[in-house]
Amino acid sequence: MQPTSPRSSRIIGTGRCLPSRVLTNFDLEKMVETTDEWITTRTGIHERRIAADNEACSDISVAAAKEALAMAKLDAKDLDGIIIGTISGDMLFPATATLVQDRLGAVNAAAMDVSAACSGFIYGLTLANAMIVSGQMNRVLVIGSEVLSKFVDWSDRATCVLFGDAAGAAVLEGCPAGEGLLATHVKSDGSLAELLCIPGGGSRQPLGPTTYLEHSHYIKMKGDGVFKWAVRAMVDAAKTVLDETGHSLADVSLVIPHQANIRIIDAVVERLEIPRERVVVNLDRYGNTSSATIPVAYDEVVREGRLEPGDLVLFTGFGAGFTWGSVLFRHSISL
Ligand code: UT7
């Protein structure tokens, strides 16, 4: 929704963390019945990062958060809240955000996770913005962080080639309306939950010998259903925030779509008629890192100096649930 309050929030610092281990398509050829040619042409992915055995969601979240706080020139004690969009936290509970709160020393911050799969960062930004606009908080750290490599069935070639691990972070601070975030839009349709889920290990199918033998504690996906739906959802969400603010795509300097598949991005680009050079793509290097794709890509373009303060940026994404959404904002960081 477009804020009606005199207050808004802006991003004042970003950071990212990519695990150092690289898994290429050629490595995958040795693990499952696949080829570099199939993966490249069907997805656009060449390689992805995989967390170390002892590396968890909170570890990469903390690393990304420290970079974002440093760019924002803030101490962790300045934070009022920490929100992590994740579906691959360290534990089922407590929230990974609480572990990050402790390790950062963010002694004044509330902390929670948001389960919106690949839309987790967009949902997190939307919540953080709402908290700031309402006056309950002034500085909120939002992180998209996933270690999906530990939830992927490495014998299922239809899914194991797609995902990678990463964390991206952004610090939001209150600002006058008209600066920073101009509109947020989030939606869901739970009738599509079964198209992309981890069915086992929850209270419906608790972890046990059956779930283990059936591999139902791993990611299950009906890829073609997700594909068609993703294009429609990302296009609709992008149009909604543009319509609400009276902007057109011609006003937008960069579009950062969720990085799931280059063919999904191509279809979105074609339908929205966005000039290709204004669309950020990095999935060739990182694969689909779920909630981390958008904050990682934003941090890259920020540090590459591809944006000027005041430039309009559009995030659009979708994920399991299904969930989807967009954020339109004015870039506020000058390095
Ligand atoms: O963030 C949200 C996460 N999910 C997504 O975004 C997924 C969206 N969907 C997709 O990206 C695509 O549907 C996939 C990349 C998953 C699959 O591409 P597709 O063009 O829809 O392929 P398909 O599922 O129709 O499979 C075509 C063939 C099948 O073989 P048959 O039945 O035609 O003989 C698959 O078994 O490709 C086969 N296949 C593979 N072959 C080699 C599936 N995975 C692989 C593989 N290597 N890794």
Q: Looking at the domain that runs over 7-179, which CATH code has it been given?
A: 3.40.47.10
**Residue 248 pLDDT:** 96
**Centroid of ligand 1 to alpha carbon of 158 (angstroms):** 5
Which of 76, 37, 106, 119 has the alpha carbon at shortest distance from 324?
A: 119
| Catalytic one of 25, 129, 261, 288 | 288
Averaged pLDDT, 237-244: 98
pLDDT tens per residue, range 160-199: 999 999 999 999 999 999 999 999 999 999 999 999 999 9
Q: Are 148 and 164 in contact (CB under 8 A)?
A: yes
Asked whether 157 lines ligand 1 (CB < 6 A), one says yes
Q: pTM score, two decimals?
A: 0.97
- Per DSSP bridges, beta strands 21-24 and 181-188 are unpaired
Residue 126 Cβ inside 6 Å of ligand 1? The answer reads no
Residue at token pair 């005041």: 310
Q: What is the mean pLDDT of residues 59-82?
A: 98
| Integer angstrom CA distances of residue 56 from 50, 85, 146, 192 | 11, 14, 9, 29
Q: Which residues contact 246 (CB under 8 A, 6 or more apart)?
A: none
List CB contacts of 295: < 8 A, sequence separation 6 or more: 14, 16, 64, 121, 142, 143, 144, 167, 168, 169, 170
Name the superfamily (CATH) of residues 182-330. Thiolase/Chalcone synthase (3.40.47.10)
Mind listing the pLDDT tens digit for each residue in 116-146? 999 999 999 999 999 999 999 999 999 999 9
Q: Is the pLDDT of residue 28 over 70?
A: yes
- Say what the pLDDT of residue 4 is: 64
- CB neighbour class for 97 (10 Å; exposed up to 12, middle 13-18, buried from 19): buried
User: Which is it for the CA torsion 91, 97, 100, 105, positive or negative?
Assistant: negative
Q: What residues does CATH 3.40.47.10 cover in the chain?
A: 7-179, 182-330
Instruction: Tell me which of 118, 160, 175, 197 is the catalytic residue.
Output: 118
pLDDT value at residue 6:
87
Determine the residue type at 268: V
Cα–Cα distance, 262 to 276 (Å, whole number):
12
The helix/strand/coil state of 244 is: helix
Q: Return d(Cα 247, Cα 13) in angstroms, integer.
A: 25
Largest CA distance in the chain: 57
Q: Which residues pair with 176 in a beta bridge?
A: 7
| Strands 139-146 vs 81-85: parallel, antiparallel or unpaired | parallel
> 189, 181, 298: which is closest to 236 by C-alpha?
189
Which two three-digit tokens encode residue 132? 């700031």
57 a catalytic residue: no
Q: Which helix (H) or strand (E) holds 328?
A: strand 323-330
Nearest protein Cα to ligand 1, atom 20: 42
| 219 CA from centroid of ligand 1 (Å) | 14
Select which of 57, 160, 258, 261 is catalytic.
Answer: 258
